Amino acid sequence: MYTSKFEGYTMKRTTIMIPEDLKIRAARRANAVGISLGGFIRESLEKALKSDSKVAHDDSYMSDNSVYEDDIPADLAQNHDKYLYGD
């Protein structure tokens, strides 16, 4: 396995399969902003993963880690509005 140091990070070589058109477009964009294709891919992954985690934290449903550990009424699913909002 090939590893190297870059900007304080240990880098690991990875091979991915992407459509030729996507590689060409990515290489052109990387060239336009003055970075390598690898740098462009790293930045794109960081951006995508950062925004993905932000969505999960901003969504109260996705970030709720509470677990109810007591008995529940047998009709909870059918009458959930009654239990959530009252009569």
Q: For the chain (length 87 residues), average pLDDT per consecutive 10?
A: 64 92 97 95 91 62 70 86 84
Residue 44 CA to its chain's centroid (Å) = 12
Residue 57 has what pLDDT?
Answer: 59
Query: How far is it, in rounded angstroms, from Cα 82 to Cα 55?
Result: 30
pTM above 0.75, yes or no: no
User: 35 in the Ramachandran plot: left (φ > 0), alpha (ψ -120 to 50) or beta?
Assistant: beta
* 25 neighbors 35 (Cβ within 8 angstroms): no
- HSE at residue 71, side-chain half, CA atoms within 13 A, is 2
Token representation of residue 54: 């932000």
